[in-house]
Amino acid sequence: MIPTITPEQITAFREKGYFVLENVFTREEMETLGGLIEAHHWQHEQRLKEVGTEGISRAGEISFTAFLAEQDEGIRRFVLRPEFVHIATTLLGPDVDLYWNQSVFKGPDGSAQFPWHQDDGYTPVTPSPYLTLWLAINDATPENGCISVLPGSHKGGLRPHQQTPLGLACHSLDDPDQGVMVPVRAGSMAAFQSLTVHKSGVNRSQGFRKAYVIQYSQAGLRNAVTGERIENRIALARGGQAVSA
């Protein structure tokens, strides 16, 4: 369903750095997408079992499986759906590329939060901020490790990040300000600015928490440090219209 983005949501995106788009996809659509993603996730998890950790992925705890749309025709068709053309062109302007996409699965009975960070902290790009859509494949709740955000934190620009054993961090998990939890039902998504500081909680449930993080940017993105063009991105829209796959 093409979502209506209200003026209040656009204001929240500008001022607080995030909002939730409810029920963009059905649970059945999420089961189908989840099935496509799981094939890649389990392959990755198998490799993780052998090596223990890879980047910020840790076997059995949290795994980030990237470039899914680039590898899988069904997932590629999904990220080019008209719902995303509408959302991304409304929030970013008429010329949009898929910048990054990854599933993030948190394993059951976890013990760790994923640290507070800005997405630009991993790779600073220009123009910034870009758009992160955190799509829940299954319900993301306070119990199973939904994300939290620091409202308004995108306004201060890129913060310094420290390397921690769990990932980059720009705000302490011990700080009294632990932001606002953003529970998201399956098929709904949190839309946030790539500079909005966010984390995810511990998965204390008995099941996996499954998300698909889809990031769109204005076309022609560059690495903010080297100035080099970020090449080979899938085009989503030009002149406000879908680019046919």
Ligand X SMILES: O=C(O)CCC(=O)C(=O)O
The residues of the shown chain that bind ligand X, judged by CB under 6 A, are 104, 106, 114, 119, 147, 198, 200, 211, 213
Q: Which is nearer to ligand X, 84 or 208 (CB)?
A: 208
Task: Tell me the closest approach of the beta carbon of residue 6 to ligand X, in angstroms.
Answer: 25
Task: Tell me the closest approach of the beta carbon of residue 107 to ligand X, in angstroms.
Answer: 11
Q: Which is nearer to ligand X, 7 or 160 (CB)?
A: 160
Residue nearest to ligand X according to CB distances in the complex: 200
Task: Tell me the closest approach of the beta carbon of residue 245 to ligand X, in angstroms.
Answer: 24
Candidates 42, 79, 67, 49; CA nearest to 208 is 42
Q: Which is nearer to ligand X, 97 or 119 (CB)?
A: 119
Q: Which is nearer to ligand X, 63 or 89 (CB)?
A: 63
Task: Tell me the closest approach of the beta carbon of residue 113 to ligand X, in angstroms.
Answer: 9
